[in-house]
Amino acid sequence: MAEPELVSDRDDAQFELLLRTRRELDVPDGWRAEIIDGDIRLMAPPSDPHNLIANRIHKVLARHVPDEWGVYQTLGVHIGKIDDLYVPDVVVIPDAVVSDPEKSPNPAEEALLVVEIVSRGNAGSDRKKKLWGYAHGNVPLYLLVDRWSAGGPSVTLYEQPEGGFYRKHSTVPFGEKVHLPEPIGSEVDTERFPGPDWGRS
């Protein structure tokens, strides 16, 4: 598959117009608006299993991140090199960045960790497009939770972004623990993550 085109010289005025339009949208409760490849895309509210996973990861991170860092759900981050704006399921970023209007939209490179939980409808985006985007945004850690992986439900931690790619990654199946390096220095236990058959009798 060809690598997505890197857009480093997109018209600033075009992105500002997209940002302003996004802010003014009357988005229904629970929906999210992202800017991807020059378009505003609306994401439907996540499912209950999706929210359960996000909540469990959030709780682990909130107990272990340094005091100056915050753990946020559905906070937008700007990938400057490609002028995309993603809304990850969970993001760890300094509170000072979020509270500074001069930093808006929040620069992805200020984040320590982003978490995306794959839904069937956005699997390609999270597995490929956003993997590529977060690497170009120099986000140190990208945690991809994939209930719908062809090889079975799994969690992959991508590390060490360089040149638009992550140099290191490790994958564990649901049921095992994922180690998050310092300064988080904790483990996420995936044993209670709901798989694709969750809720079926």
- For tokens 């690497």, what's the residue? 135
The answer to whether position 60 is within a domain reads yes
For the whole prediction, is pTM greater than 0.85? yes
Give, in order, the Cα–Cα distances in Å from 167 to each of 37, 59, 135.
24, 28, 10
What is the distance of C-alpha 32 from the center of its chain? 13
Give, in order, the Cα–Cα distances in Å from 184 to each of 24, 70, 91, 115, 179.
36, 12, 13, 14, 9
- Note down the domain range covering 129: 47-189
The answer to whether position 104 is within a domain reads yes
Give the chain's end-to-end CA distance (angstroms, integer): 39
Alpha-carbon distance of 99 to 125, in angstroms, equals 29
The answer to whether position 68 is within a domain reads yes
The answer to whether position 151 is within a domain reads yes
Q: How many structural domains compose the chain?
A: 1
With cut-offs at 50, 70 and 90, classify the pLDDT of residue 43. confident
Q: Residue 112 maps to which CATH number?
A: 3.90.1570.10
C-beta neighbour count of 136 within 10 angstroms: 22
Model pLDDT for residues 151-188, shown as the tens digit of each residue: 999 999 999 999 999 999 999 999 999 999 999 999 99
Model pLDDT for residues 84-111, shown as the tens digit of each residue: 999 999 999 999 999 998 888 999 999 9
Tokens of 91: 């993001």
The answer to whether position 33 is within a domain reads no
Sort strands 39-43 and 32-36 into parallel, antiparallel or unpaired.
Answer: antiparallel
C-beta neighbour count of 170 within 10 angstroms: 11
Sort strands 165-173 and 177-180 into parallel, antiparallel or unpaired.
Answer: unpaired
Q: Is 163 left (phi over 0), alpha (psi -120 to 50) or beta?
A: left
The answer to whether position 59 is within a domain reads yes
Model pLDDT for residues 68-86, shown as the tens digit of each residue: 999 999 899 999 999 999 9
The answer to whether position 157 is within a domain reads yes
The answer to whether position 185 is within a domain reads yes
